[in-house]
Amino acid sequence: MDLAGKYDKTNLLGDGEVQVWRGRERSRGTPVLLHTFTGSPKLLLLATQYLLKKPASSPLLDIGEWEGATCLVTVSELDLLDVKAWLETAIASSPVPAPEPQPVNPR
């Protein structure tokens, strides 16, 4: 999904492997952070793993494309400026599913 029609970029906050932009959701004016990257398959894998376990109150709002780059959209919080570190922590701290009970073998 092309996110350029849904969000506005306002200013660049960080430039590196991931560019972090302050932005705003157009429909409601909600402030967001836009994390764009092109050469980080690990970050895309982390985002996918997180989305599979996504809690109801997730700060990860959207994932899509922005001008040919992958873009993760998060709430506008300082803790999320380093989205890769945040995803790693969120995945590591997510509850591990309980093992399925093994059938009892009557003798």
Question: What is the distance between the alpha carbons of residues 63 and 34, in angstroms, rounded to a whole number?
Answer: 10
pLDDT in tens, the chain (107 residues): 899 999 999 999 999 889 999 999 999 999 999 999 987 788 889 988 898 887 778 899 999 999 999 999 999 999 999 999 999 998 888 664 444 445 566 55
pLDDT at 103: 55
pLDDT at 107: 58
Question: What is the distance between the alpha carbons of residues 34 and 81, in angstroms, rounded to a whole number?
Answer: 9
Sheet of 19-25, strand order: 7-14, 19-25, 31-37, 69-75, 60-66
pLDDT at 52: 86
